[in-house]
Amino acid sequence: MSFKTNSLFPSKEKWKSVIKKAVRQHETSHWRLRLEQHKDFSLFKEVHKSLQPATIWRLAKIRPDSLSLMKFLSRLCCKNPPEQPVLCSKCTHQYMHIEVVHALFECPFTDSPTRLQTFLETVRPVSAPRHEHLKNAEPATLVLYLMGMIDDVISDLMPTELYPEFLINYTNFLQSVLAA
């Protein structure tokens, strides 16, 4: 930095750029360290790899009416998978996934797999060739894709401009599944 070596202070624009870069580097370093040290962030760091607002919060910013739904999704995503098997209140089977994965794919006392398929076929604005790989995705991965938690996959699901409405509809669907 020229100020240190020859006492010349940079222009305002240059100084703002230097400060922004330094703050960004510090915050990114601090964020990565925090993700590594706290096991509570284990699921979050798998699905949100860069230091920027998650898709759900960007959506809540452009659609303030969706804030409560996005908070619901955030709570689902931030739940850690259980360390011990959890007993389902509906089917009395034990599961080791986050609650929504069990409710959508494993619980024999819900019609959620059929409802999910119907929902995706009727609501999603996705062209068949673009979503073919989702049919073979692991249930937990598919849930994270659909919840908007894996940022780089959204464009595989559908045109980006259609995603906000899809995510709002999907969140309403999830709430109905988990409330049943």
Q: pLDDT digits over 118-168, tens only?
A: 777 776 555 545 556 666 777 877 777 777 766 556 666 667 777 788 888
pLDDT of 67 > 90? The answer is yes
**Domain membership flag for residue 47:** no
pLDDT at residue number 106: 84
| Total tally of structural domains belonging to the chain | 2
Together in a domain, 23 and 92? no
**Domain membership flag for residue 10:** yes
Range of the domain at 32: 1-37
Together in a domain, 144 and 173? yes
Together in a domain, 26 and 109? no
Together in a domain, 62 and 134? yes
Judge contact between 44 and 77, C-beta under 8 A. yes
Together in a domain, 19 and 78? no
What residue type is assigned to position 88 of the chain?
C
Q: Rg of the Cα trace of the chain? A: 21
Together in a domain, 6 and 57? no
The pTM score is: 0.66
Together in a domain, 74 and 12? no
**Domain membership flag for residue 48:** no
Together in a domain, 84 and 171? yes
Give the residue-averaged pLDDT of 31-43.
76
C-alpha to C-alpha distance for 179 and 7, rounded to whole angstroms: 65
C-alpha to C-alpha distance for 95 and 101, rounded to whole angstroms: 9
Judge contact between 79 and 44, C-beta under 8 A. no
C-alpha to C-alpha distance for 125 and 145, rounded to whole angstroms: 15
Together in a domain, 11 and 89? no
**Domain membership flag for residue 66:** yes
Give the residue-averaged pLDDT of 16-37.
87
C-alpha to C-alpha distance for 43 and 62, rounded to whole angstroms: 26
Judge contact between 100 and 81, C-beta under 8 A. no
pLDDT digit string, tens, across residues 72-101: 988 887 777 777 888 888 888 888 777 888
**Domain membership flag for residue 45:** no
pLDDT at residue number 43: 62
Together in a domain, 149 and 102? yes
Together in a domain, 57 and 33? no
Together in a domain, 25 and 75? no
